[in-house]
Structure 1
Amino acid sequence: MNRRLRVGLYALGGVFALLLAVALIATYVVLQPERFTALLQARARAAGLELTLSSPAHPTLWPSPALELEGLSLRSNVSGTPLIAASRGKLVLPWHTLLGGEATISRLEVEGARIDVDAVSAYLDTLPSRPSTAGATLPTIDAGFRISRGTLLRGTTLLLSNVEAETDRLASGRRFTLTVSANLADETPYALDLDTVPTLSRGVLTLADAKLKLASEKHFEADLKGDATWRGGADVGASLSGRVSREEGKPFDVVLAVTPANQNDPLYVALKLDGETEHADLHIPPLALGEWWNGIHAGGTLTMPPLVGTFDAANVDAGSLHVKGLRIEATPDAPASSTTVGSAP
C-alpha cells in the first residue's frame, strides 16, 4: 500500500471517529436522559408510586433513539415491596426528539420483570373507589409496551413464569392488539391473543369485532369472535362464539354470553359446549367462583363449585384421573351432584 493511500485511509478513519464522537455527544445533549427519567418519575408520583433506577439512564441511537434503563423498581408510597422490579428497560423515543422536540415516549420495553400480585392489589386498594353509578373508563396507553422474561408472583409463591406480553397503542376508536404467553407453575404453557376495536362513548366501552384466541401447546386451541360492552361496575355484557380444537379428542363448538348484574342476580357467564361426546349448558357466577377458588387454596373445606346447569362427557382425562360417563347437574336450590359410570382412577 503506497504512502498516499495509507494517509488517505488514516484521514478517513479520523474523520469517521470524529463524526462518531460528535454524534455521541449530541445524543447525550439532545436526548438529555435526565429529562425523560424525570418525566417517568413525575408520572409515577402522580399515581402515588415511586420509580427508582440502579444507575442513570444512557441513550442509544440504533435502531432508533432510545434510553437504556438499569435496575427499575416501582413501589407504592405505602408499601416497601416493589409492585414491579426489572433488570432492564428501554424507552423508545420518536426521532423528532433528536431535534429538541417534546419529551414523549413511543414505546416501553421491560426485561426480566418481577410482578408481585399482593403488592399490586395493596396499591389498588389505596386508590379512591369509583361510584357504582360511574360509567366505564378506558386507560389510554400512548406508547405500546413489551414485557419479556417476566415472572408473576404472590409473595413468594410463583404463579407464572417466562411471561411475554406486547401491546400497541390503546385509544378509543383505534384497533388494539394484545399478545401474552406464559408458563404456569407446573410449566404448562399458555398463550392469549386479543384483537379488537375499543370505543368509549358516553360512559359505555364497546369492544367491537373482537377476536380472542387462547391456546396451550399440545393441549388445546380456542378461537372466539364477538363483541363486548362495559357500562361501569358489574354492568358487563358479551357475546362470543367459536370452536375449540384439542390435541387429544375431537373439537367442539363454544357459545359464551355474559349477563350483567342487576338488583336480583349477580354477574353471570353462560357457557354452552357442543361436541361429539361432550355437552354443557352452564351458568357461572365469576365472583362467587373466585371466592370458592380462593377458599380452596386457603385450605377451606372442599365443596362443589358454584355452578348452575348440566355437564355431560363420555370420557374425562385429567392427568392421572380417568372418568367415563360423567354427568353433573346443579340447580339454584340444590348443590351440584355428579353421576359416573365405569369410572377408574
Structure 2
Amino acid sequence: MRIGLLAVGALVVAVLLAAFVATYVMLQPERFTSLLQSRARAAGLELTLSNPASPTLWPKPALELEGLTVRASGAEQPLLVASRGKLVLPWHALMGGEARISRLEVEGARIDVDALGAYLDTLPSRPSTAGAILPTVDAGFRIERGTLLRGNELLLSNVDIDAGRLANGIPFALALAASTADGTPYSLELETLPQLSHGVLTLSDVELGLSSDSRFAAMLHGGATWRGGADVGASLSGRVTRNSGAPYGITLNITPANQQDPLYVALRLDGDNDRTDIRIPPIGFTEWWSGILAGGSPTLPPVLGSIEAKTLDIGSVHMKGLRIRATPQTPAAASTAAAP
C-alpha cells in the first residue's frame, strides 16, 4: 500500500508538472506580453512588468502580471502603477491561435492626473472640421481598488471600472464606482449602442444612471450624436429620486455650437417645490473655473437661466424662497425671502 501511494503521488506530481509545462508552452506568455506592450507603444506609452508573466488555466486561460507600470514614452513620472494584473485569453489561444486578449484586469492601480494630462497634451490634435471617430477597444477591461491622484493629493479612492468591448455596432456597457476624498461614494452606469457612419457617431438607446448611496439616484434615457469638433447633440430625460425630499423630473439637452452660440448644456429639473432651468457653456465654464483656480479675480460663472426653490439647505445654511435669474444682459441676480 505504501509503494502504491508513493506511485500515485509521483504520478499526480508528474501530471501537474506536465500540465504546467504544457500550459506555459501553449500560452507562450512572452507572446501576449509582447502584444500588450506593442499596443501600448502604438499609443505612445511604455509598459513594463516587475516580473515575467505567469500562465494559469483556471477559471479561464490567463496570464498573471505583477508590478505593472505605464508611462508616456520618454516621461519619468508614470501615469499608472498597479500591483497586479491579468490578461484573460480566449480558449483557442491554447491551440496556438491568433494572439488576442479577451480582457484586461488591473488591481490596486494608482493613476496620476497630472501625468495623464501631460500624455494627452502630446497627442496630435484633430482639425475642427474632421468628422467623429470611435476608438476601437478590442478587449474589455476592469480596474479594481484604484486611486486617482494629483501628485500627492487624493482625488478619488476605491475606484472600480468595468467596461466591455468598444466597437462599431456592438452594445457597450460601462460601470464606474468611486469615493471622493471625503469618503462620499458615487456610481455611474452607462449602456448604449455606438454606431459610426460617414463621420457621424450615434449613441442610441442610451441608459445613463448616476447615484450616491443614501443620497440620490438618477436614471436617464435618450440618445446622442457627434459629428466632430463641437458639433455634439444629445437629448436625455428621466427621473431623480432623493432620500431627503420629493423626486424630480430631469431633462438634459446638449445643443451644438454654431456661428452665433457656443456649445451649450441645458439642464431642467421639475419638482413639487423646486424648479431649475439653466444653460451652461462647458468650454466657457472650464475657462472660468481655471481662472478661479489660478487666483484670478472672482467673477460670476457663465450660467444662463433660472433657479427657484422654496427651501434650500447647503451645509449649515438654510434658505427659503430662493430665486436666481441669469441673463446675457444681467449676468446674475438673486433674492431670498428669508435670510440664512
Q: Bigger shift: 84-93 or 38-47?
A: 38-47
Partner Cα distance (1:173, 1:231) in 2? 17
**What residue number does 2:288 align with?**
292
Q: Which residue of the partner structure matches residue 323 of structure 1?
A: 319
Corresponding position of 2:145: 149
Give the AA of the match of 1:57: A
For the pair 1:185 / 2:181, whether they are aligned, the reply is yes
Counterpart residue identity of residue 287, structure 1: I
Q: Which runs of 5+ in 1 are unaligned?
A: none
Deviations 1:94-129 (A, max 9, x none): 111111111110000001111111111111111111
SS of structure 1 residue aligned to 2:331 = strand
**CA spacing shift, 1:220–1:302, aligned 2, 3 Å:** farther
* Alpha-carbon distance in 1 for matches of 2:32, 2:178: 31
* 1:150 to partner: Cα distance: 0.7
- Residues 1:340 and 2:336 aligned together: yes
Deviations 1:190-211 (A, max 9, x none): 0000011111111111110000
TM-score (norm 1): 0.95
Match for residue 20 of structure 1 among 16, 22, 31? 16
Shift of 1:7: 4.2
Q: 1:89-168 alignment to 2 at 5 Å?
A: 89-168=85-164
Alignment of 1:201-216 (within 5 A): 201-216=197-212
Structure 2: distance between partners of 1:238 and 1:269: 9
Distance in 2 between residues matched to 1:159 and 1:299, nearest whole Å: 21
Q: CA RMSD in A?
A: 1.3
Task: Identify the match of residue 275 of structure 1 among 266, 271, 274.
Answer: 271
Output one character per residue of 1:285-340: Cα deviation in whole Å (capped at 9) or x when no partner. Answer: 11111222233333333332211011001111122222211111000122112111
SS, match of residue 333 in structure 1? coil
2:224 matches 1:228: yes
What residue in structure 2 maps to residue 310 of structure 1?
A: 306
Match of residue 31, structure 2, among 19, 28, 35? 35
Alignment partner of 2:69 out of 60, 66, 73: 73
Cα deviations across residues 216-235 of structure 1 (Å, max 9, x unaligned)?
11111001000001111111
Identity %: 64
**In the aligned structure 1, how far is the partner of 2:196 from the partner of 2:283?**
25
Q: What is the one-letter code of the residue matched to 2:121?
A: D
Distance of 1:87 and 1:215 partners within structure 2: 29
TM-score, normalised with respect to structure 2: 0.97
Cα distance, 1:179 vs. partner? 0.2
Is 2:246 aligned against 1:263? Answer: no
**SS of structure 1 residue aligned to 2:23:** helix
SS in 2 for 1:262: coil
Q: 1:137 to 1:63 in 2, by over 3 A?
A: same
| In 2: Cα distance, 1:264 partner to 1:156 partner | 43
Deviations 1:43-81 (A, max 9, x none): 111221111111111111111111111111111124211
Q: Describe the SS at the equivalent of 2:58.
A: coil
Paired residue total: 340
Q: Is the 8 A contact 1:325 1:343 kept in 2?
A: no
